[in-house]
Each structure stands twice: as C-alpha cells, then as structure tokens.
Amino acid sequence: MSYLDMNSGQVVANASESERAGFIKRTYMHLAGAIAVFAIVETLLFKSGVAQQFAVMLSGSKWSWLIVLGVFAFVSHFANQWAHSSISREKQYLGLGVFIVAEAIIFMPLIFMAMRMAPDGQLLQNAGIVTVALVAGLTFTAFTSKINFSFLGRALAIGGFIAFGVIIAAMVFGFSLGTWFSGAMILFAAASVLYSTSNIIHEYNSEQHVAAALSLFSSVGLLFWYILQFMMSMAGDD
C-alpha cells in the first residue's frame, strides 16, 4: 500500500506552472479512464441481460426506485470520502471504482428506455455529443475566465436538496416531472460542471487528482443524464 502525505502537496492555484499542468493532465486522464470503464461496465450489464431485468424490477413498484436512489446516495457518499482519502492511493482508486460501478447501475434503466425508443442508439449518440460540447464550453470558460466559481457550491447544495425532494415527491405521488424539470436540471448540472472544473484550478491539493476526477465524472454524468432525459421527452412528444 502506498501511503500519502497530503501535506506535501499544495493548492493547485499556488503550485508551479509545471506542477499545475501535471495535476490537470492527471485529472483529465483519470476522467477519460472513468468514462471508458463506465462504458465497459454498462455494455457488460446490457449484454448479460442484467439491465433488462433491473428495468423490469424497477417498473414493478414505485418504492423500488426510492430504495435504489437511497443505496446510490449512501454508496456515493462513502466513495467520495474514499476518493478524498489522505491515507492511501489505493483507497482513492477504490472510491473512484465503486462510484463508477454505482453510476453504471443507476444509469441502466434510463439507457434501457432510450434504447427502446431508438434501437439504433441515436438518442444516446446525440445526448453524448451535446454533453461533450457543453462540457468543452464550460471547461473553456473555467480555464480562461480566471474566476473562482467555488461560490456556486452553496447554491448547488441547496438546489440539489430541492431537486432531490421534488424527485422523491414525484415517485411517491406519481406525477410526471416533465420536460421543464429536465431543462432546469440541465442548467443545474452545467453549473455543477463549471463548479467542479473551477475547483480543479483553485481548490484541490496537487495530490488529489483522483478525487477531482470523481467530482468531474459525477457532474458530467448528471449533465448527460438530464440531456438524455430531455431528448427522450422531446422525442416522445413527436
């Protein structure tokens, strides 16, 4: 086990140009790796038939989704803590790995429905293209504006609790959230990507590239989720 001394690192904003560039490179390489592993795990879940069985199970009861969301929130909390571990690099990677698998599982029903609506994968492809374009624009903004967007943290925390409450209410009382909610959540997720990207530059320790990658992966995943939902909603209205 490789032990870490987080005190040996420093905030990226105060690091040398070469150290800062190295941290950013490691973060985005880990983000790319996380996305690749997510895609592989998702493919295996679909090819094995687990995704279809999972979607059928969730459709059987409104409480099933509540249980799944609760477990996901619980697992995500500990995965994020492990990714920020100052004890060992192995524990950081364990946190990232656990979060990737949890994200793949939570995405199964949505991707299953998207594939039923468009078996050629066009919805997934379009949502992926839009997500990449938005993330690229937000990343460019964060890196060129020189603004520390950490002030968004409190608003995102409050907005996240409100959104989660609305989602729970929709499940319990059986009403549809609709296209407008997906649109609002796209804006929320975009702000989350901007916040996470800004933190990479201004807030993280130079030894925390795994945690930074997890934060970005989570925000990008949220953005992709609601862009895909929005496109599915629009396609369903045709």
- Within-domain flag for 133: yes
The answer on pLDDT for 203 being more than 60 is yes
- Within-domain flag for 1: no
Residue type, 59: S
- Within-domain flag for 121: yes
Residue type, 141: T
- Within-domain flag for 165: yes
Average pLDDT, the chain: 86
| CA–CA distances in Å: residue 6 to residues 11, 24, 42, 155, 195 | 10, 17, 33, 28, 22
Of 35-39, 62-66, 76-80, the range with the lowest mean pLDDT is 62-66
CB 95 within 8 A of CB 83: yes
- Within-domain flag for 4: no
Q: Is 205 helix (H, G, I), strand (E, B) or coil?
A: strand
Q: Distance between CA atoms of 213 and 38, rounded to whole angstroms?
A: 13
The answer on pLDDT for 150 being more than 90 is no
Residues belonging to the chain: 238
- Within-domain flag for 9: no
- Quote the pLDDT of residue 236: 63
Query: What's the rounded mean pLDDT across residues 229-233?
Result: 90
- Within-domain flag for 3: no
- Within-domain flag for 6: no
Query: What's the rounded mean pLDDT across residues 20-27?
Result: 88
CB 111 within 8 A of CB 125: no
| Range(s) of the domain holding residue 168 | 15-237
H helix runs in the chain, sequence order: 17-47, 50-59, 62-83, 89-117, 122-145, 152-173, 178-202, 209-237
| Count of domains for the chain | 1
Backbone angles phi, psi at 16, to 5 degrees: -65, 165
The answer on pLDDT for 146 being more than 90 is no
- Quote the pLDDT of residue 60: 66
